């Protein structure tokens, strides 16, 4: 934890959150959005356990870190026009870049690779949480819009 400033830790936490939120908002539905939020929460809650040897994830997503930083996390400033125009995805890509800058030189390449995969997996978990349509009951779990958004994130993460 001492390797990272509070601002850097904020960036590390924000990137996967914004990726998940962006994926959820490209295909909004009444029930599906709730299912996707639950999937995102599950990913974040399980991060420290899934990556016990990753110093980045432990510093930002361990139970102690989440409790410490809960009150300090900035609430995202989401504007309807950003969701409709796709600018929210651009903002999430900028958040990815900021997070990767924060960990550069402070973590091993293996830890950074795992962290990148974790960010992407957050988006995939959200996309796969519900089917297409208003109630999330559509046949396809990952909509065309979600797949396109995930593809953009994959490029931004260098995966």
DSSP labels for 35-72?
Answer: HHHHHHHHHHHHHHHH-TT-HHHHHHHSHHHHHHHGGG
pTM: 0.84
pLDDT tens, residue by residue, 64-90: 666 665 545 565 666 555 556 577 899
Judge whether residue 1 has pLDDT over 50.
Answer: no
């Amino acid at each position: 934890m001492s390797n990272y400033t509070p601002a850097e830790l904020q960036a590390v936490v924000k990137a996967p959150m914004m990726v998940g939120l962006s994926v959820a908002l490209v295909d909004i539905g009444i029930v599906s959005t709730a299912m996707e939020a639950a999937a995102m929460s599950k990913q974040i809650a399980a991060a420290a356990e899934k990556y016990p040897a990753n110093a980045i994830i432990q510093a930002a997503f361990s139970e102690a870190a989440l409790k410490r930083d809960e009150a300090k996390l900035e609430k995202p400033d989401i504007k309807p026009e950003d969701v409709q125009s796709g600018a929210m995805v651009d903002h999430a890509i900028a958040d990815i870049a900021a997070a990767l800058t924060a960990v550069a030189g402070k973590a091993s390449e293996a830890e950074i690779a795992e962290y990148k995969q974790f960010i992407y997996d957050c988006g995939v978990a959200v996309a796969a949480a519900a089917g297409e349509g208003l109630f999330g009951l559509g046949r396809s779990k990952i909509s065309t819009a979600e797949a396109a958004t995930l593809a953009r994130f994959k490029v931004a993460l260098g995966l």
